[in-house]
Amino acid sequence: MHSFKDGRPVTKTLDDFEEIIMADFEFVAAPGERPDVVCLAWHEASSGRTHCLWRDQLGDAPPYRIDDKTLFVCFVGNAELGCHLALNWPSPKHVLDLNPTFRCIANGRTVPQGRGLLGAMTYYGLDAIDAKMKDDIRKRVMKGWPFTADEREKILRYGASDADAMVRLLPKMLHEINLDIALHWGEFVSA
């Protein structure tokens, strides 16, 4: 994982990546089964665009880069990478899971909104989706198929809001992240 120069490890920075992808899947999770992917939302830092696709629009490979020059950012990597597995997609080369990183940052501190994405957003003073709305949409997704056209639209907007939340969250967290260690954690989640 580490590169060396003059016998010393070279620390990774965001500048080492050509692309940064912030991704969020919505899925139905049956106990003991792989996730049943509902949709995917992702943000590409290079274009500044957020994309959303329903399950039937997903192909045989991720619609974003996962190569050595791409940083894949998520919140709860085992869920997002589990969706990669369920879709028979390879795992991204470099994974930055903001969930364990935030848990380390907030360890021993009171986090009124919890240690999930909503809690991290609140902790850093960022606006986030209403907790009740988030809970309602997650519950609806967990009920499973079929989804009405209106539900599909709400679920896609919800996924996009999580991807966009990470766009705002990452810069707030970055000064507290040792990227080399966090990428090592990402390797562990990928395995």
pLDDT at 5: 52
**Backbone angles phi and psi of 13, in degrees to 5:** -135, 170
**Backbone angles phi and psi of 84, in degrees to 5:** -55, -45
Tell me the pLDDT band of 1, cut-offs 50, 70 and 90. very low
Q: What is the pTM of this model?
A: 0.92
pLDDT at 43: 98
- CB-CB contact of 64 with 95 (8 Å): no
Per-residue pLDDT for 2 more than 70?
no
pLDDT at 7: 56
The residue ranking higher by pLDDT, 88 or 108, is 88
- pLDDT tens sequence across 31-69: 889 999 999 999 999 999 999 999 999 999 999 999 999
pLDDT at 6: 55
Per-residue pLDDT for 156 more than 60?
yes
For residue 142, what are the contacts with CB-CB under 8 A and spacing of at least 6?
Answer: 28, 29
- Mean pLDDT (whole number) for 11-17: 91
HSE-up (13 A, CA, CB side) for residue 123:
22
pLDDT at 148: 97
- If we measure between CA atoms, which residue out of 20, 10, 171, 157 comes closest to residue 93? 20
- pLDDT tens sequence across 93-132: 999 999 999 999 999 887 877 788 999 999 999 987 777 8
Residue found under tokens 């190569």: 67
Mean of pLDDT over the chain:
92
The CATH fold of domain 12-185:
Nucleotidyltransferase; domain 5 (3.30.420)
